[in-house]
Structure 1
């Protein structure tokens, strides 16, 4: 099966490509550096020729609401139109648990992407993931004010990118779900607790202050928004396993 992975050179995309190839599929990593640009349409007809499935893992270079909304609207529209012409049967995207609840411009842009896919009239699957373990450090950096890391005391269920890649690859080779599934890590933490633990493991001296008013990339948080809303597929990699592998 030929599967084109848009964003196939990134953190998750490269692992999705490897997973698919290990299982005998023709996985093609598509990105601007490989001559495929979903914003302009450059390279799409060529890379989609003979493809049965497209996995869209692309992301906007700017997270400003206007920019990211324009990115997902333009990119997704171009992809879906090109896929219809090429006879692609299954469109898979990676989205975010809580996208329809967190008051964030980026999340609203992801909903625009989801809605375009649902309305496409072709086979689709949406995989909503919790936050990646790989981003714990950048979360702490973003939440730092005057040397203190401010984190809200809400539930947090991060997942290793390797687990995300396995779930996405498995979804891509299956029958279109025409539905949304949620994936998460195998453990639930207090958000402030896991950030504190992570920084301590790296000998980072910053204080992590439990702050109910702390925002998450600029968005106010309610408990339950960073964990699955219902039944979810759980990854295999624990925080400690992931941390040791990183070391």
Structure 2
């Protein structure tokens, strides 16, 4: 089972989930000599692969670089998968990417279009933000006061999501699957404050409202799972206690 983006936050968890089931994970990452954007090394990496789980990612807030990345990476991965006879392509997307107008989400929409229009049998799994997300935003905010965007979210365990993705990949292609999220709704700035308190840090967090249409869409629940979603049980408090 190939894991595209297998060295990232979710990718490492997917690789571990494969190993727990005695599957053989193939890590697709630049550090492994495989480049999704150029396609270098993909054919060799996918030789003999039954399924691909694509959790690849790019740090891009604007639409143009996000779209460019997913067009190149997804296009190359699908083409190599077709040549290799891959049985099942699983792409991980984001809950709300089809209804929240943020730059990065336009890239995810393009990824979904390519997967859905490709010849490799596919499943798209949209998931909510991970428990790790608040900490990542803190790291990206320099200075003694942290600005964290005001976002109503439904954070999910990356480890439990990884197990779910392996289940999906071992099953039959299903098209657009049910949303996946955690059991609780939280404002991301509140999670950031709780994380800092858990670390014993007294850093001030300011909730920064998101401007424009995206801010209104998120406030209206744009990042929350739809009816019929798969709810994974780990809470944010349980995740904190384990970290």
TM-score (norm 1): 0.87
Q: Distance in 1 between matches of 2:206 and 2:16?
A: 39
Q: 1:210 to 1:51 in 2, by over 3 A?
A: closer
3-state SS of 2:77 partner? helix
8 Å CA contact 2:152, 2:219 repeated in 1: no
Q: 1:114 aligns with which of 94, 112, 115?
A: 112
Q: CA deviation at 1:63?
A: 3.7
Structure 2 gaps, min length 5: none
Q: Distance in 1 between matches of 2:68 and 2:164?
A: 28
Structure 1 gaps, min length 5: none
TM-score (norm 2): 0.88
1:26 matches 2:21:
no
Q: 1:161 aligns with which of 152, 158, 162?
A: 158
> How large is the Cα RMSD of the aligned pairs?
2.4
Q: 1:82 aligns with which of 71, 76, 80?
A: 80
3-state SS of 2:26 partner? strand
Q: Deviations over 1:21-74 (max 9, x none)?
A: 221222111111111111111111111111111111111244432111101001
Q: CA deviation at 1:149?
A: 4.0
Give the structure 1 partner of residue 93 of structure 2: 95
Deviates more, 1:192-201 or 1:130-139: 192-201
Q: 1:70 aligns with which of 68, 71, 75?
A: 68
| Paired residue total | 240
8 Å CA contact 2:5, 2:56 repeated in 1: yes
Q: Distance in 1 between matches of 2:144 and 2:33?
A: 43
Q: Deviations over 1:77-130 (max 9, x none)?
A: 111111111111111111111101212110011000001000113311111111
1:215 matches 2:190:
no
3-state SS of 2:129 partner? coil
Q: CA deviation at 1:5?
A: 0.8
Give the structure 2 partner of residue 50 of structure 1: 48
Q: CA deviation at 1:209?
A: 4.9
